[in-house]
Chains A and B, each alone.
Chain A
Amino acid sequence: WATASTPSPSPPSGLCSPPPPPPLSIGSDQVRCRGFDLTFPPISLQPVGEAGADRARAHGRRISGQTSLGIKAANGVVIATEKKLPSILVDETSVQKIQSLTPNIGVVYSGMGPDFRVLVRKSRKQAQQYYRLYKETIPVTQLVRETAAVMQEFTQSGGVRPFGVSLLIAGYDDNGPQLYQVDPSGSYFSWKASAMGKNVSNAKTFLEKRYTEDMELDDAIHTAILTLKEGYEGQISANNIEIGVIRADREFKYVYKVNYAVFTAT
């Protein structure tokens, strides 16, 4: 079922296999630890138990990523993000911040774009491997778990840094609509509605006021846009946000045409 839309070359090998050891101390018996010798500075535990993961999580919040959010409605999930490009010279069709991991799971991020691409690629492969093994499409919880495990690995392994992204993974499977947020530390939770990035506290307050348990998806889309509009610096329009939805038909889709009245309404 899942065919890659563009056949992409295999990821550079540095990500999947132990990298060659750095040219360091000569003559010593270098103990290999995941391909690195222990003279190389690993992520160390900071005093008072503040582990690298904590810092990663803190950084995930402090990293001034563009605001993104997700809302789980009764009959679907919507995820949205602002898409602010560094210059009008940038071709906006070349940038897609919301990506699908499988036909029924989509993801949006706040933080570092390059790190996000790596995670998307890895997650897609994991989903495909799951299907190959079990001949069943991967449940949302399992994909979230495996993605989070990758992120956690990078907080504990030597010679690498944590991923500078927080992810919002939205999917629809046999357990209904689901929304998960994964932090740089690798911890994840299921959310009814969540926001990440620069404007997170205002956005979450706004969402808390507006969220109801029996929300319909179209209301949720409306609320998502209004929440983005709250914290948006400048003029919001259909060209500088991205919205993705998944309904009971279990197909993750982008929303391209939105009723413009939403943007001008208060």
Chain B
Amino acid sequence: MSRGSGAGYDRHITIFSPEGRLYQVEYAFKAVKSAGVTSIGVRGKDSVCVVTQKKVPDKLLDDTSITHLFSITKYTGLLATGLTADARSLVSQARNEAAEFRKKWGYEMPVDVLAKWIADKAQIYTQHAYMRPLGVVAMVLGYDEEKNAQLFKCDPAGHFFGHKATSAGLKEQEAINFLEKKMKDSPQFSYDETVQIAISALQSVLQEDFKATEIEGRCCEERRPC
């Protein structure tokens, strides 16, 4: 008599529950929060900046090896919030994809095309039972020749949007509230303002001042490698 419970698999693989939910995808979002790190991304007039916390759990760890920021190409970066192992796997595949794109088509993979590729891959994991969704929210940033500064966020559900500013991780909602107030009138930030907004957003949300060693960030600007 389990007409309502769907044979019980709906929590273990990505099939629909009776209410039309995908539990595995929802759990993936929780996994992103479980990393305990918050990230912020802000897009200015012709620059993009992302910052994230750098939490080194053990003093014996070599902190140069701990990072959530990755280059996909010289001109495109990716900030991965969530499970680091999944992040590395995603980055590795994205790097391969971007390199193949460059070889095949003769120009650098645009940021939005890369974001779409990442999101489409995430969608496959939500539809096919053999792989679980990745517990990573990826913020892809770069400078596009035609569309200027770009910031995209891709999540485990396969959604991706371009953003003027966004956040991911533990204090995502508070950060978005803060950023919405700042971006209300669609201001066009300069490079320095973009960086300032990103860092102050992180500070206000986590309610502490940072030393330089406790956060890491990356900026992309016109015609400069990221």
Contacts and interface: CB of A to CB of B under 8 A. Distances in A.
Nearest to A61: B20
B145 to A, nearest CB: 13
A234 interface: no
B130 A19 contact: yes
Nearest to A85: B161
A112 B122 CA distance: 13
Contact of A160 (B116, B117, B121, B127): B127
B159 A113 contact: yes
Main secondary structure of the interface of A (DSSP, over half): loop
User: Chain A contact residues (Cβ within 8 angstroms of B): what range?
Assistant: 35 or more
Contacts of B179: 89
A91 B162 contact: yes
Interface stretch (A1-9, A130-138, A254-262): A1-9
A162 B101 contact: no
Which among B18, B117, B124 has the greatest number of chain A C-beta atoms within 10 A? B124
**Which of B9, B128, B159, B165 has its CB near the most chain A CB atoms (within 10 A)?**
B128
A50 B113 CA distance: 40
15 contacts: A22-B130, A41-B7, A48-B3, A88-B183, A89-B165, A90-B163, A91-B161, A94-B152, A113-B159, A114-B158, A115-B158, A117-B123, A118-B127, A160-B128, A164-B16
A46 B120 contact: no
B16 A114 contact: no
A159 B130 contact: yes
Interface of B: 3, 6-7, 9, 13-16, 18-20, 22, 43, 97, 100-101, 104-105, 109-110, 112-113, 116-117, 119-124, 126-131, 152, 157-159, 161-166, 176, 179-180, 183-184
Nearest to A46: B3
Given A9-B113, A12-B124, A56-B16, A114 B129 contact: no
Interface string A34-54: 001000110110111010000
A117 to B, nearest CB: 6
